[in-house]
Structure 1
Amino acid sequence: MRFSASSVALREFHGESRLEAARSERRWWPGLAPVRLALFVEPMNINAQSLMVATLAKSLKNLGYEVEVLAFADGKANDILENICHVNVVSPPSLKYIDWSKYNAVLLSSLEGKMVVSILMQEPFQFLPVVWLIHEDALGQFLRNPELHQSIPNHIEDWRTHFNACTYVVFPDSYLPLLHSALDTGNFLVISGSPVDILATKRYSSSHTQESARNQYGSKEDDVVVLVVGSYLFFDELPWDFATVLRASAPHIMDMAKTKNLGVQFIFFCGNDTDAYNSAFQELASHMGFPLGSVKHFSLTHDIRNLLVFADIVLYGSSRQEPVFPPLLLRSMASEIPIIVPNLTVITKYITDGTHGFLFNADDPSTMVSAFAQILGEKRLSARAFSVALEGKLLSKNMLAYDCITAHVMLLESVLHYPSYAKLPSPVSKLQERTWLWDLFETKAALENSSSDDDSQLLTRIIDNLVDESHESNQTYSDSNDTSLYNYPSLSDWNDLNEVEIFEDIERREIEEASFSPLPFPIDERVERPLLSWDEVYKNARKSERLKPEGNERDEGELERTGQPVCIYEIYSGEGAWPFLHHGSLYRGITLSKGGRRPRSDDVDAVTHLSVLDNPYYSDRLCEFGAMFAVANRIDAVHKLPWIGFQSWQAAGRKVSLSEKAEETLEETMAGENNEDVIYYWAPMDMDQTSNFWSMCDWLNAGRCRTLFEDAFRTMYGLSDGITALPPMPNDGDYWSTLHSWVMPTPSFLKFIMFSRMFVDYLHSLNVNGTDPASCLLGASQLEKRHCYCRILEVLVNVWAYHSGKKMAYLNPVTGDIREQHPLDDRNEMWVKFFNFTLLKSMDEDLAEEADDGMHAGDDQWLWPLTGQVFWPGIADREREEKYIKKLDKKLKNKVKLLERQKSGYKQKPLGQ
């Protein structure tokens, strides 16, 4: 059943295990690294939330996952977690400097996780699975505050947006989703069994006595107090099922109590506390056969802990089937109270009649009388009742632990993407933990003398921080001199923005048209344009003014790089990658997100320079390599330096970006009289002694790297099946390049792109169904299939550089030391003939001629013409011929006009006559 704000039911989880799907593929290659999980928690105090998180982390680690705990501050239970997994204390501002892409999923166990979700909502982290565990009702009460609606506008929409960005929002019981129903977007789940009820009951009973509670609620010391509870799911409904159960048994129970000279009081915990509900309930209670004054009613908003302190018996009066074990029953058992429950499936799964509780037939309410007969004694309760209550308490401590942990692990198995390089963890069936880590936490609690005051103070601080954050995010500034990002745009602003977008679209199309021309001058200089009116000139001037700040930034960037030998283009996608980018004249950003450049920067918009990147299907498959295609496509306009380099934004997150010393070494090397054709790289491939280049490539590409590389290479060069088509790569202990982090001469870069465009096209042609992302053969998970060619293209530069005879040098990103890799004199098996520039240029021109002649008309999957310029000598010859014909046609038209004037006899008189 599904839970939603309009239909009060419980959403169950029935997701398919992606881990089982990964195992069914029979991966023959070994994994390189375990599946990594980030677990963001509040400061780890001695509480139920920390107990559950620690037990879950230990279970995941034992299954083979790698868990890293992130928190804003140290807590009293930090040392417990440090013995289980790595704990990293971070500050809120530093969250944006964490490379979240290194994790396979993120679990949030704190309301402060909203800050993390804000980051994960941005590119390039938006596809990362996020599971948010909500343990308390503080957020629900916070959102229901009417004063908050007035002081902080749109705060509910803000929270709903953050909840919607998560894969699942998980609650420990069915009451909390009701409290947060305003935020439900269809991803709420309930996983019961959290130890919060057990620990809360234990703490509360240690500080409250039954005598004081009875005096508070007006119950006599000798009375038998029966607490009647039911389901949270029917908040506002009258307990008709209670009436059905008690109507047949109440008179017998009262007679039994009179026989034993006992007073009986029934307390009903259900519904709401409105006057209409109370009056309707009293009328219903009178029909149940209870004497006047023996029935009291408390709404579900009342603190159940107060009632459990002085209750003698707990009766579960609802006969409706529940998807999970009722949390109110768990609290009752933890309070060492005998329970009388119907024989519902979810209850009999755990409770044995006469051992842990007393069962009655839900279809025959009269059987409840026999349960009361076993419980009631001469002095309130019988000895058997106390014995059963004790057994129930012992059982409740870990009764749901295994199911709770198992459900969380199964949830992770359903949302995780298990990439090719991952060491598959053990399935949930191998889970050994069946109890909570009570020993560690109870010992710690005794030493620290921890109390719930720490938790309440922490929760109050978190809520206060969230209120301040909501105030800041909704604050607007009326000062006209303040150019805040939070100013709401006016209608004129939207009109201006629309005009700018139209102008940029026209500019992009002109650039695309010009890119197909082999001539050095732009297309505008070859097309006759009519004279503009003054209004049109004024309008264009206004557009130029609006674009002027950005243009000035680009001009300043170009000025900074004047005289430099090299520029490194940092490839990124989305605002989430901005903190990992560098500033300064050595670097220039290039974004794969349309219009996603950093403000006040001269970053390059790759989509503007290569229109195929505006297609999500191709941009996802090419990934960061698309940025290189874009730069090469407009090399004369974008890059005018002798050396060119690239670096993925992930290099900074993986701690392999260049230090200042390494940057100085690189610039000095480039500035010297260095005419060698060298490629310098600084992000090495992580290899061990048992692996080589092609095996690593296989492990990153679902075990099919060398197979598809060989097939693409064979098709590209037209090699027969009997000839080996996989270029050999030595296992000499030297480094190979990854993360697109390298520098080479600009002419060499253009040669590399010429080869890469053809290789990618033939690789793409091997796809079974080019329009279906799931058809990718180079990916093991859905996410890898979406980014099909990314991983093989990341290492393609190594094959090209090695076999084209380029000198390869590793630049240590920390020390700046340069060491040659795979020396030319030691390369015994270079396939130079396949990487000869004359051959590649000839092949490139052949493809251009095919495109120019329309030989692939109707073939939407031909990728090569979309990745760069299409040029062969015939295009220049045709353009010269067309230009000559236009010139002759113009002369002919002028001659005809002159003859017509002469025939008309009109002659202009000389001036002055």
Structure 2
Amino acid sequence: MGSLESPISLKRAGSRNERNPFLSRTRSRFSRFLLFNKLDYVQWICTVVVFLFFVVFFQMFLPGSVMDKSPDSLDDKDLVFRELGYLKEMGGLDFGEDITLEPCKLLQKFQSQNKQLNLGSSSALNRSQHRFQYRKPQLALVFADLLVDPQQLLMVTIANALREIGYEIQVYSIEDGPAYDVWQNIGIPVTVLKFNPSGIGVDWLNYNGILVSSLEAKSVFSRALAVRSRQYTSAGQIELVNDWKNVFNRATVVVFPNYALPMIYSTFDTGNYYVIPGSPADAWKGENAMYLYKDNQRASMGYGPNEVLIAIVGSQFMYRGLWLEHALILQALLPLFADFSSDNDSISHPKIIVLSSDSASNYSMAVEKIALNLRYPSGVVKHVAVHGDVDGVLSMTDLVIYGSFLEEPSFPEILIKAMSHGKPIVAPDLSNIRKYVDNRVNGYLFPKENISVLTQIILQMISKGKLSPLALNIASIGRGTVKNMMVQETIEGYAMLLENVLKFPSEVAPPKAVIELPSKLKEEWQWNLFVNLQNSTLEDKSSKFLNNLEEQWNHSQRKKFGSPVAMNDSFSYEIWEEEKKMHIFDTKRRREEQELKDRTDQSRGTWEDVYRNAKRADRARNDLHERDERELERTGQPLCIYEPYFGEGTWPFLHQSSLYRAIGLTGIHVLESLTLRNMYAQWVLQSTKGRRTRMDDVDGPSRLELLKNSYYRDILGEYGAFFAIANRIDHLHKNAWIGFQSWRATARKASLSEVAETSLLGAIEKRKYGDALYFWVRMDKDPRNSLQQDFWSFCDAINAGNCKFAFSETLKTMYGIRTELNSLPPMPEDGGTWSVMQSWALPTKSFLEFVMFSRMFVDALDAQMYDEHHQSGHCYLSFSKDKHCYSRMLELLINVWAYHSARRIVFVNPESGVMQEYHIFKDRRGKMWVKWFALNTLKAMDEDLAEEADSDHSKRRWIWPSTGEVVWQGVLDRERNIRNRQKEKRKQKSKDKQERMRHKHRQKALGKYVKPLPEEDMEISNSTLLTSN
């Protein structure tokens, strides 16, 4: 669902020493000698040799003949078990007791946060909060496809139960499939997402929680990505690993179905792993096993069709004493071979397969050595290392013995697989096994303290070379048991997790407790919905998806580095190192060239060239003067609608036409003092993170410094765009009317259609309603207002019941009211509606008046809320820690201002463009607080604040000066005086220049200029000279 931190981690118990886990046990003199005498490496090797000698020595006391089943031989075996137990007490043998699976504190962390929230949510004003429960909590389930697989069965079962306790669920899928009908049959709507060039258009903020059930949109139920992550690391594909880590980190919780997967995926662990055991995947495979596995599986591994195959399995966790447990199980199975007399050649010996996840060759050698010392016939015992096809090996065995004595936190997954294949199981009576297995009903149990009972069980199960009828019947019952095993734990686990993770707004009714869920929904998976679809072929979709992803990533790397050579395997670390060296060298060279350039004299050209270059640089530096085709088209229109947005996820909801212009509210990244390979380079990257490229979007933080503060950027929300546009509006907005539209209105399909846009522009040009507020997202259609509440009741519902109090206190602070008079402006209940979601249009002049009022209102509201909210994150307008705090109250502020400032309020149907005026003037008489909202009153208050800000330079925290321009008569006079002084200074410079020109020294001519004769005259004169001579 979101992010999961393994609720359980594999670590040694805190009271044990990790290197020597036997230090805290009762030690013999020999063990204390080994411990307290600091032995060197050679002495430790000698100690190990002595230990192995003792093991071989005790094997001499084992029964000498596998055919002997007399009472004396059983007594000898008990002696061996006692001797092995003695070795265990010495610390040399380890049954895994020092391995402790400690649950992570993730769930406890959420629970403690909820407790702190309940204690501190009332804030410093000790305000009580109320939950109105107008609508159900919304959940979205996201799938990569709707193919029929165990994951669909799991999620259908969980969704059906969650819906019963009060959740409302919507399913999204990237691709369609047969499971579409399954969801429709249970009444849950399904939407198949369609890609468009700008992305997928879904407003995920409509949902209180999102459960993503796929890597490619696949649950992390397989080991595919975990295995590949090691390949990525070894191949130097660090960026790909980091990308996956970011994907895992974005989730609040990442849920795994068993306790081994979180450790396998430890590369991506960011502290949000969680485990909810239980899945129908193994039972699903068992149902289809008959079609997948045939007798030729035995032949491929060298076993005959009539041979009895016994599988010894163990814990999914590896620990040092595992080989000892296998040795004890093999020892207990020896008497079984007494039934297979050497003179009876018609029945072959049973075969034993030791399954483990340890693929090391030395473990196979250890198993063979144990079998040899126990005097098993050659070829009877075989070790098989299984990583993937465990079901293939289990399907061809006859019975399965669980040979681990480690208490695991849930029922062993390997036993679920065995039972789903219809194999009788034998296991120690551990608590988590005994919870689901009844001895001699659906399985066999033996006490781990008395392993000789295992021998008796095996002799009862196998008779004359085949399983007894009782064992077959128990296997059949076990298969039915495992089909619906752990359903209750899974459903309760998800319900409890959602209860602790999700934070519901005040208008949302919390779900019922999971104990109120009908028992029939917790007893079995919803197999009945998949009866006709269950035999569908399962594909390895995760591997296919990862292959495509790696191919795309490698292609992007080739494109990035301009390499024409195909990168079949991976990203080359050497190429990256070379790229960094070249970048460092170029940076150093450019710096040196710039320094040399600054030290040399350069021709600056004429003064005209200098002025021209300075103006060109100023225009290039100032975005406000950049004009593209959309801006040129927008110039002649009466209206411009701005669309505030936060980050890349909102891009699909932004319009491209010239009527609209987006304003980005994401922050500016500054990266300074980056040191690479002992080379110091100072980079200042004013990057446009989350902003669209090649678009004329307005950069909100660059227009208003306050929006560079993440606290105010979050708490103001789209109101920050109002302040940013109004600040020096003449430099940006050239239209007579201005509008705003939330990207969420587009996601909700409530934005203006082309017909409505034409209708709105026509009404504006004709001044049909004059100075009016046009809006197109109405309050009575808002999902938060399903009960059609009046204005103040709706405001209270979405603000924990404290909207009216906060509004009243803010107006008192804003206007300086000290009495107990009612300061809550009345909003009529006349059957009309109001604007929500900040989607409206106003004359630009009226918009500036509204911003003037809003700046003072926000300043007074922030003074009331800041201390408590900034320190603790609590706000009495919300039940949970909420970084948006009073943004929901600001969403409705436009209605209060428009009503009491005597603006006409007109609704524009976003589809048809039909207009309807609400709250007409004749019904408002005697109800409007005109004096409070009059322009003269607001302007006088604004000037007083500006004068205070201009004259008082104290360091007290005050946000009003940061929300826009500070203008009053004193500022205007000062600016006029500055302009006059500059004008006088320019005049004086001009006069001085003229005076210098009049009195400048003029140099006399050095001689008289004599014009040379033409060439013809020169020739005549030359010829005359020659004649005379």
TM-score, normalization: structure 1?
0.82
Match runs of 1:303-322 below 5 Å = 303-322=389-408
Do the aligned partners of residues 384 and 602 (structure 1) sit closer, same or farther apart at CA in structure 2, a change above 3 Å counting?
same
Shift of 1:887: 10
Corresponding residue number in structure 1 for 2:698: 604
Do the aligned partners of residues 301 and 605 (structure 1) sit closer, same or farther apart at CA in structure 2, a change above 3 Å counting?
same
Q: Hey, what's the Cα distance between the residues in 1 that align with 2:776 and 2:611? A: 51
Corresponding residue number in structure 1 for 2:738: 644
Instruction: Please say if 1:325 is aligned against 2:398.
Output: no
Query: Once the two structures are superposed, what CA deviation does each residue of 1:138-189 show, in whole Å capped at 9, x if it has no partner?
Result: 4445656789959x89544433332332233333234544554544444343
Q: Structure 2 residue aligned with 1:101, among 199, 202, 205?
A: 205
Shift of 1:614: 0.3
Corresponding residue number in structure 2 for 1:822: 919
Instruction: Please say if 1:369 is aligned against 2:455.
Output: yes
SS in 2 for 1:840: helix
Shift of 1:366: 3.5
Q: Hey, what's the Cα distance between the residues in 1 that align with 2:981 and 2:300? A: 105
Q: Hey, what's the Cα distance between the residues in 2 that align with 1:494 and 1:430? A: 65
Structure 1 window deviating more from structure 2 (327-336 vs 540-549): it is: 540-549
Instruction: Please say if 1:697 is aligned against 2:795.
Output: yes
Shift of 1:356: 2.5
Q: Hey, what's the Cα distance between the residues in 2 that align with 1:298 and 1:546? A: 74
Q: Structure 1 residue aligned with 2:436, among 328, 336, 350?
A: 350
Corresponding residue number in structure 2 for 1:751: 849
Q: Hey, what's the Cα distance between the residues in 1 that align with 2:200 and 2:788? A: 36
2:834 alignment partner AA: W
1:351 alignment partner AA: V
Do the aligned partners of residues 558 and 264 (structure 1) sit closer, same or farther apart at CA in structure 2, a change above 3 Å counting?
closer
Shift of 1:778: 1.4
SS in 1 for 2:445: strand
Corresponding residue number in structure 2 for 1:203: 288
SS in 2 for 1:716: helix
Query: Once the two structures are superposed, what CA deviation does each residue of 1:864-900 show, in whole Å capped at 9, x if it has no partner?
Result: 1211122222333455667889999999999xxxxxx
Corresponding residue number in structure 2 for 1:34: 136
Structure 1 window deviating more from structure 2 (680-689 vs 700-709): it is: 680-689
Instruction: Please say if 1:112 is aligned against 2:216.
Output: yes
Shift of 1:910: 7.6
Tell me if structure 1 keeps the 8 A contact 2:129–2:879: no
Corresponding residue number in structure 1 for 2:673: none
Tell me if structure 1 keeps the 8 A contact 2:874–2:880: no
Corresponding residue number in structure 1 for 2:253: 168
Instruction: Please say if 1:226 is aligned against 2:310.
Output: yes
Q: Hey, what's the Cα distance between the residues in 2 that align with 1:770 and 1:224? A: 70
Corresponding residue number in structure 1 for 2:512: 426
Query: Once the two structures are superposed, what CA deviation does each residue of 1:268-297 show, in whole Å capped at 9, x if it has no partner?
Result: 101333433322332344456644432111
Shift of 1:102: 1.8
Instruction: Please say if 1:64 is aligned against 2:166.
Output: yes
SS in 2 for 1:584: coil
Q: Hey, what's the Cα distance between the residues in 1 that align with 2:138 and 2:427? A: 43
1:476 alignment partner AA: K
SS in 1 for 2:559: coil
Shift of 1:812: 0.9
Corresponding residue number in structure 2 for 1:440: 528
2:959 alignment partner AA: L
Corresponding residue number in structure 2 for 1:87: 190
Do the aligned partners of residues 300 and 439 (structure 1) sit closer, same or farther apart at CA in structure 2, a change above 3 Å counting?
closer
Q: Hey, what's the Cα distance between the residues in 2 that align with 1:667 and 1:545? A: 35
Tell me if structure 2 keeps the 8 A contact 1:250–1:290: no
SS in 2 for 1:775: coil
Q: Structure 2 residue aligned with 1:593, among 666, 670, 681?
A: 666
Corresponding residue number in structure 2 for 1:14: 107
Structure 1 window deviating more from structure 2 (290-299 vs 878-887): it is: 878-887
Tell me if structure 1 keeps the 8 A contact 2:901–2:934: yes
Shift of 1:572: 0.8
Shift of 1:458: 5.6
Instruction: Please say if 1:561 is aligned against 2:561.
Output: no
Do the aligned partners of residues 388 and 844 (structure 1) sit closer, same or farther apart at CA in structure 2, a change above 3 Å counting?
same
Tell me if structure 1 keeps the 8 A contact 2:763–2:769: no
1:108 alignment partner AA: V
Instruction: Please say if 1:714 is aligned against 2:817.
Output: no
Do the aligned partners of residues 457 and 263 (structure 1) sit closer, same or farther apart at CA in structure 2, a change above 3 Å counting?
closer
Tell me if structure 2 keeps the 8 A contact 1:271–1:277: no
1:763 alignment partner AA: L
Corresponding residue number in structure 2 for 1:502: none
Match runs of 1:290-309 below 5 Å = 290-301=376-387, 303-309=389-395
Shift of 1:779: 1.8
Corresponding residue number in structure 1 for 2:840: 742
Structure 1 window deviating more from structure 2 (458-467 vs 310-319): it is: 458-467
Runs (5+) with no aligned partner, structure 1 = 114-131, 499-530, 895-906
SS in 2 for 1:579: helix
1:612 alignment partner AA: L
Query: Once the two structures are superposed, what CA deviation does each residue of 1:612-636 show, in whole Å capped at 9, x if it has no partner?
Result: 1100011111111011011111211
Corresponding residue number in structure 1 for 2:301: 217
SS in 2 for 1:201: helix
Q: Choose 1 or 2 for highest CA Rg.
A: 2
Query: Once the two structures are superposed, what CA deviation does each residue of 1:307-345 show, in whole Å capped at 9, x if it has no partner?
Result: 222322211111122122111111112222222212222
Shift of 1:457: 7.1
Q: Hey, what's the Cα distance between the residues in 1 that align with 2:254 and 2:355? A: 28
Corresponding residue number in structure 2 for 1:583: 656
Q: Hey, what's the Cα distance between the residues in 2 that align with 1:630 and 1:105? A: 32
Match runs of 1:127-166 below 5 Å = 133-140=219-226, 154-166=239-251
Shift of 1:728: 0.9
Q: Hey, what's the Cα distance between the residues in 1 that align with 2:140 and 2:856? A: 40
2:532 alignment partner AA: K
Structure 1 window deviating more from structure 2 (172-181 vs 622-631): it is: 172-181
SS in 1 for 2:942: helix
Question: Percent identity among equivalent residues?
Answer: 36
Shift of 1:256: 7.1
Corresponding residue number in structure 2 for 1:677: 771
Instruction: Please say if 1:406 is aligned against 2:505.
Output: no
Corresponding residue number in structure 2 for 1:873: 969
Q: Hey, what's the Cα distance between the residues in 1 that align with 2:586 and 2:846? A: 43
Instruction: Please say if 1:858 is aligned against 2:955.
Output: yes
Do the aligned partners of residues 178 and 688 (structure 1) sit closer, same or farther apart at CA in structure 2, a change above 3 Å counting?
closer
Tell me if structure 2 keeps the 8 A contact 1:692–1:731: yes
Tell me if structure 1 keeps the 8 A contact 2:107–2:500: no
Structure 1 window deviating more from structure 2 (578-587 vs 281-290): it is: 281-290
Tell me if structure 2 keeps the 8 A contact 1:38–1:68: yes
Do the aligned partners of residues 370 and 555 (structure 1) sit closer, same or farther apart at CA in structure 2, a change above 3 Å counting?
same
Tell me if structure 2 keeps the 8 A contact 1:262–1:380: no
Shift of 1:710: 1.1
Q: Structure 2 residue aligned with 1:240, among 323, 341, 344?
A: 323
CA RMSD of aligned residues (A): 4.2
Shift of 1:815: 0.7
Corresponding residue number in structure 1 for 2:875: 776
Tell me if structure 2 keeps the 8 A contact 1:679–1:806: yes
Match runs of 1:616-655 below 5 Å = 616-655=710-749
Shift of 1:97: 1.7
1:111 alignment partner AA: L
Shift of 1:401: 1.2
Tell me if structure 2 keeps the 8 A contact 1:4–1:184: no
Instruction: Please say if 1:395 is aligned against 2:462.
Output: no
Tell me if structure 2 keeps the 8 A contact 1:247–1:287: no
Q: Hey, what's the Cα distance between the residues in 2 that align with 1:620 and 1:182? A: 32
Runs (5+) with no aligned partner, structure 2 = 1-5, 13-98, 122-127, 565-570, 589-600, 668-687, 991-998, 1006-1029
Shift of 1:29: 3.6
Corresponding residue number in structure 1 for 2:1014: none
Structure 1 window deviating more from structure 2 (620-629 vs 163-172): it is: 163-172
Do the aligned partners of residues 440 and 496 (structure 1) sit closer, same or farther apart at CA in structure 2, a change above 3 Å counting?
farther
SS in 1 for 2:752: coil
2:919 alignment partner AA: H
1:658 alignment partner AA: L
Shift of 1:262: 8.2
